[in-house]
Amino acid sequence: MAKILIVDDAAFMRMMVKDNLKKAGYTDFIEAGNGEEAMTIYNEQNPDMVLLDITMPVKDGIETLTAIKQKNPAAKVVMCSAMGQESMVVEAIKLGALDFIVKPFKPERLVQTVKSILGE
């Protein structure tokens, strides 16, 4: 089963993502509360996929995406954004994000996106 890194500064959002993916059969998760933590974990654990919030303290999602793609151009990253962050989503796609999910997201959209990106 794929190892998924969930990066969001809101613990409740990480929990919600995890709960929804658990219902779909995923079991291997790593969590980070900001981009700096995410990079440390990414470098140590090399997850199969990253779900990355755009707006975070310390290192935002765009900076983190750039760092991940520099380390691994083939990295599978999906951005999670709130409404009104369309310009940042466009920038993230240009930088190599494969997709985006708008928060608050529908559980089926989250699962469908994860399965699609992981080729399942």
Above 80 in pLDDT, residue 29? Answer: yes
State residue 87's pLDDT score. Answer: 81
State residue 95's pLDDT score. Answer: 95
Catalogue all structural domains in the chain, each as residue range(s) with its CATH number.
3-118 (3.40.50.2300)
Label residue 31 by pLDDT band (50, 70, 90).
Answer: very high
What digits encode the pLDDT tens for the residues 53-111?
Answer: 999 888 999 999 999 999 999 999 999 988 667 788 889 999 999 999 988 889 999 99
State residue 83's pLDDT score. Answer: 66
State residue 86's pLDDT score. Answer: 75
Confidence (pTM): 0.94
Contact 103, 80 (CB under 8 A): yes
The pLDDT mean for the chain works out to: 93
Q: What is the b/e burial string over 33-55, where b = at least 16 CB atoms within 10 angstroms of the residue's CB?
A: bbbbbbbebbeeeebebbbbbbb
